[in-house]
Chain A
């Protein structure tokens, strides 16, 4: 294992210390229990927005804490769910009297830990709701009863819900919006290489020099199939087709198109892939009204990319355009 780290056990803590040092204007990092919270406090009467999950997907979620997006995030160990005591402490920190919404990616550990946190917070008198994100079309819902995984759609949803909370949405309305966004977003990813969890020291899986895995999750879980590497345009088509067919997106739909690097794929290749993804979207009669390109939900140093598409009405586009200022995403502010 060759990594720019000190001790594998200290990676998460030292990275958080770095974030705190780099962005004191935007966020504060608490330890024991560990959570990241916006530096300027939650305005009175605003619904608090919390997400969290294993580390190793940076900038998600810690990098989305600030103004106009998440109020707090709970990082776990690399690829391991955070624990309810972290979530409870963060929930209490961001409750400004209007309740707190938890955005949870659909992984067994995450769902159970958030569920416990929700029970604990409610017994403490805070109104907490949670929405589980499950946008990964690579997992066949009917066969695998753990259900679809939460992947790239989470990034778009955190931005849109952050803007809505800022705008004064009630907890009920925010929960409904979050659910509607999840219903209208689909994603699929692929990997050219594996990644190495620092404490494991070895690659999570083996992928030959000429092989790729289609339908990969964000922790190196297996995908739909393993096959020989193809030209980028064909790979993009392999991801776009199931996405378009699954919702289904219809001729004339407005969409937000998000092409994401898994961490190891350089932007030059991500833009090359975006070019084809946008072309295919148009061929399906879709209007790409907004887009996002770059590394936003990563799997450590894994090479590969994921594509996410959300059907967007005027409300969603307006919320997307609202000012956001976080370490990982910034515009209009």
Chain B
């Protein structure tokens, strides 16, 4: 069965729960190379977003609501980045009643494009793009191969995890971590980590969807 609006609601709730659970860990990662507020900021934005979700709302309205909640309550750089991700991703859902693998691939591709437009980050800058890009590529490959959604989204989550882990040796070229230069090496990027949770939450929420 393909995705409908309640599946997006479940995904966003799962993402919020995961960030709440890992809040201290995200903050610890951010304290090492940023300003130590990523866990707290993401948690504040997402709990507000979850409060705003209307169970009867369409997919595109839900995505827009979440985007606006993140933009107004998260603060820092994460608010605009995740807000733009949901805003742009949501626009792709407007013309669909339900989403299969190709539509989910298009959704995350639009989100990635939005993040890159907003943050101007390239791969290997040690940012959330390093987790999101491999996930999008995995989804696009899966769409081409006709892979069912549950499997495709799991592959995307695995790719995001690998991408996240690969940020550790990189030198940051964007955001506050970039002021550290060389000293940013040896730390996993907190933004790539929360992006992995975003994909992993989808894999969990959509594990029985085709």
A residues with a Cβ closer than 8 A to B are 33, 76-77, 79-85, 107-109, 112-113, 115-116, 139, 143-146, 149, 199-200, 204, 217, 219, 221-222
Contacts and interface: CB of A to CB of B under 8 A. Distances in A.
Interface centre among B76, B118, B173, B176 (most CB of A within 10 A): B76
A112 B72 contact: no
Q: For the complex of A and B, list the 3 residue pairs with the smallest distance between their C-beta atoms, beginning with the closest.
A: A112-B80, A109-B77, A146-B178
Contacts of A146: 173-176, 178-179
Contacts of B41: 80
25 contacts: A76-B75, A77-B75, A79-B35, A80-B37, A80-B41, A81-B75, A81-B76, A81-B79, A82-B75, A83-B72, A83-B75, A83-B79, A85-B71, A107-B176, A109-B79, A112-B79, A112-B80, A116-B71, A143-B181, A144-B178, A144-B179, A145-B174, A149-B179, A200-B36, A221-B35
Contact of A108 (B40, B75, B174): B174
A145 B178 contact: yes
Interface string B107-125: 0000000000011000001
Interface residues of B, number: 29
Interface in B56-76: 71-76
Interface in B69-113: 71-77, 79-81, 83-84
A24 B79 CA distance: 32
A79 B34 CA distance: 12
A112 B77 contact: yes
Contacts of A144: 173, 178-179, 181
B181 A108 contact: no
Contact of A222 (B83, B174, B175, B180): B180
Contacts of B80: 84, 109, 112-113, 115-116
A183 B72 CA distance: 32
Contacts of B75: 76-77, 80-83, 109, 113
Contacts of A81: 75-77, 79
Contacts, number: 82
A84 B179 contact: no
Contact of B81 (A112, A143, A222): A112
B48 to A, nearest CB: 11
Contacts of A113: 75, 79-80
A111 B101 CA distance: 35
Interface in B6-65: 35-37, 40-41
B18 to A, nearest CB: 22
A139 B179 contact: yes
A84 B176 contact: no
A82 B77 CA distance: 10
A5 B64 CA distance: 38
Contacts of B180: 222
Nearest to B122: A145
Given A113-B79, A145-B174, A204-B36, 4 more contacts: A139-B179, A146-B178, A204-B35, A219-B35
A19 B77 CA distance: 28
A115 B79 CA distance: 12
B72 A33 contact: yes
A80 B81 CA distance: 15
B73 to A, nearest CB: 7
B179 A115 contact: no
B36 to A, nearest CB: 7
Interface in B106-147: 118-119, 125
A48 B183 CA distance: 41
B179 A222 contact: yes
A81 B81 CA distance: 13
A82 B76 CA distance: 7
B74 to A, nearest CB: 7
Contact of A217 (B84, B179, B183): B179
A84 to B, nearest CB: 6
Contacts of B173: 144-146
Contacts of B74: 83
A143 B71 CA distance: 30
Nearest to A217: B179
Nearest to A138: B179
A204 B32 CA distance: 11
A200 B80 CA distance: 23
Nearest to A144: B178
B119 A112 contact: yes
B77 A221 contact: no
Contacts of A199: 40
Nearest to B117: A115
Interface centre among A77, A139, A149, A219 (most CB of B within 10 A): A77
Contacts of A109: 75-77, 79-80
Contacts of B37: 80
A84 B72 contact: yes
B191 to A, nearest CB: 11
